[in-house]
Amino acid sequence: MKILIADDSVVSRHLLEATLKKWGYAVVVACDGLEALELMQRENAPNLAILDWMMPGMTGLEVCERIRQRAREPYTYILLLTSKSQKEDLIEGMDAGADDYITKPFDQHELQVRLRAGRRLVDLQAELLSAREALREQATKDSLTHQWNRSYIFDLLCRELSRAERECKPVGVVMVDLDHFKSVNDNHGHFAGDAVLCESARRMQSTIRQYDAIGRYGGEEFLVVLPGCDEQSSFNLAERMRKQLSQSQMSLTENAINVTASFGATVAVPGQVWTAESLIRKADEALYLAKRLGRNRVEVLPIESPPAPAIVSQPETEPVAQ
Ligand code: GH3
Ligand code: MG
Ligand code: MG
């Protein structure tokens, strides 16, 4: 584990560094508070820090306060090293956000057990973060292809549509369905089918732009969201995906497999009336047109605005004589 130590006294710094290295820690050294703060704000900064209280420029206490203001994740466990031993001083140190303190000159055994307590907290938090990450992955990703799952890609489409409406920009919506996929399962087995789904998703993902998104919408169907794309650029991007998918055979079993897909696209144009559902329905319609016209092709259908409500003139009614 990496520990940051900050102390302006050369002797005390060297002693601490040598002790920690002897115990197997990787040590990052700062000679004053400002350097410590800078090192603690870097990516992959140590999650454990031993800060001397009294340092020129910025005290250990001030470093503590600055670090706690940012509520960084993962948490940094801070041990204050101080020659102060008055109770009030220690309360001030803990109030500033230190997790623990040790008085100078430090007792090696005491330092060892206090570091052990710090490590336990850092390790527990790392476990918690990775469990949270795994849960997030489970809730948002498709477990087979590792692309977004159906509910996430749908929500993402809704978010992109509201953003596009605010910014007056179009959004391309593309529905993709692998062609004759049932025969891949029938001829090569279900596992090969699964591998084809993963590789197809990977190939399509590799051709879209960084801000586009692809999700598995159903069995062998994918929904692709293309922010800022009008009809022509949605068509072009879908064409790129189609070519990338079919350009070379997939050698996933002893037999190479040819895979193609049909693409149906539509575009949410600013100023028109649509919903995420109506766009998906239209992209689906375009997809079935692509299937009917021979598969392995892209079709784009414009979304129609609903007809303006008819104005029905009310017949003049005669006042009824009482
Ligand atoms: P079309 O060109 O008209 O789309 O024909 P198709 O065979 O692709 O379409 P169909 O709807 O008849 O068959 C889809 C197949 O996809 C049937 C189903 O077993 C298979 N499938 C769906 N999900 C999975 C999956 O997760 N893994 C595998 N291996 N197969 C899947
Ligand atoms: Mg299919
Ligand atoms: Mg299908």
The CATH number linked to 71 is 3.40.50.2300
pLDDT average, residue stretch 202-210: 96
220 classed as catalytic:
yes
Say if residue 233's pLDDT is above 60. yes
Q: Is position 187 within any domain?
A: yes
- Please tell me the distance between residue 287's alpha carbon and the centre of ligand 2 in angstroms: 10
Enumerate the β-bridge partners of residue 258: none
Q: Is position 321 within any domain?
A: no
User: 311: pLDDT confidence band, cut at 50, 70 and 90?
Assistant: low
Enumerate the β-bridge partners of residue 172: 226, 267
- Residue 24 structural domain: 2-135
Flag the least confident range among 135-144, 192-201, 233-242, 311-320.
311-320
Q: Is position 312 within any domain?
A: no
pLDDT average, residue stretch 141-164: 97
- pLDDT of 307: 52
**Where does ligand 1 bind, in terms of residues with CB under 6 Å?**
144, 177-182, 185, 190, 193-194, 197, 219-220, 291, 295
Question: Do residue 178 and residue 236 come from a single domain?
Answer: yes
Question: Do residue 109 and residue 165 come from a single domain?
Answer: no
CA distances from 76 to 3, 27, 46, 50, 67 (A): 10, 15, 7, 10, 8
Domain end position, chosen among 72, 101, 135: 135
Q: How many domains does the chain have?
A: 2
Say if residue 170's pLDDT is above 80. yes
Are the C-beta atoms of residues 225 and 173 closer than 8 Å to each other? Answer: yes
Question: Do residue 155 and residue 295 come from a single domain?
Answer: yes
Strand ordering across the sheet containing 100-103: 26-30, 2-6, 48-52, 77-82, 100-103
Say if residue 79's pLDDT is above 60. yes
Report the nearest-CA residue for atom 21 of ligand 1.
Answer: 219
- pLDDT of 163: 95
- Is the sign of the CA dihedral 176, 179, 181, 184 positive or negative? negative
Report the nearest-CA residue for atom 4 of ligand 1.
Answer: 179
pLDDT average, residue stretch 145-163: 97
Question: Do residue 116 and residue 202 come from a single domain?
Answer: no
Question: How many CA atoms lie less than 13 Å away from 180 in the CB half-sphere?
Answer: 12
Give the position, in ligand 1's atom list, of the atom nearest the Cα of 183. 7
Say if residue 14's pLDDT is above 50. yes
Task: Give the span between the Cα atoms of 309 and 34, in whole angstroms.
Answer: 68
Say if residue 304's pLDDT is above 90. no
Question: Do residue 196 and residue 80 come from a single domain?
Answer: no
Q: Is position 127 within any domain?
A: yes
User: Residue 8: in which H helix or E strand, if any?
Assistant: none
Mean pLDDT of the chain: 92
Say if residue 96's pLDDT is above 90. no
Identify the nearest ligand to the CA of 221 by its number: 3
Catalytic residue among 88, 167, 199, 220: 220
- pLDDT of 308: 52
Are the C-beta atoms of residues 78 and 64 closer than 8 Å to each other? Answer: yes
Percentage of the chain beyond pLDDT 70 is 94
Report the nearest-CA residue for atom 6 of ligand 1.
Answer: 180
Q: Is position 30 within any domain?
A: yes
Say if residue 317's pLDDT is above 60. no
**The two three-digit tokens of residue 82, written as one number:** 């101080």
Q: Is position 215 within any domain?
A: yes
Domain end position, chosen among 135, 169, 187: 135
pLDDT average, residue stretch 124-139: 94
DSSP state, 275? -
Question: Do residue 289 and residue 159 come from a single domain?
Answer: yes
pLDDT average, residue stretch 301-317: 61
Give the position, in ligand 1's atom list, of the atom nearest the Cα of 177. 4
Record the pTM.
0.75
Question: Do residue 125 and residue 39 come from a single domain?
Answer: yes
- pLDDT of 322: 44
Domain end position, chosen among 135, 159, 174: 135
Q: Which of 145, 182, 252 maximizes ligand 1 atoms within 8 Å of its Cβ, making it the mutation to test the pocket?
A: 182
DSSP state, 79? E
Task: Give the span between the Cα atoms of 164 and 228, in whole angstroms.
Answer: 7
Say if residue 32's pLDDT is above 70. yes
Q: Is position 241 within any domain?
A: yes
Give the position, in ligand 1's atom list, of the atom nearest the Cα of 185. 29
Rg (C-alpha) for the chain, rounded Å, is 31
Q: Is position 196 within any domain?
A: yes
Question: Do residue 111 and residue 220 come from a single domain?
Answer: no
Report the nearest-CA residue for atom 22 of ligand 1.
Answer: 219
Q: Which of 149, 177, 181 maximizes ligand 1 atoms within 8 Å of its Cβ, making it the mutation to test the pocket?
A: 181
Question: Do residue 182 and residue 291 come from a single domain?
Answer: yes
User: 253: pLDDT confidence band, cut at 50, 70 and 90?
Assistant: confident
**The two three-digit tokens of residue 250, written as one number:** 């997939």
Q: What single string gives the DSSP state of each residue in 116-172? A: HHHHHHHHHHHHHHHHHHHHHHHHHB-TTT-SB-HHHHHHHHHHHHHHHHHHT--EE
Report the nearest-CA residue for atom 10 of ligand 1.
Answer: 182
- pLDDT of 240: 98
Identify the nearest ligand to the CA of 296 by its number: 1
Residue 264 CA from chain centroid, whole number: 27
Residues measured by CB to lie within 5 Å of ligand 3, the ion: 177
- pLDDT of 321: 47
Question: What's the CATH number where 198 sits?
Answer: 3.30.70.270
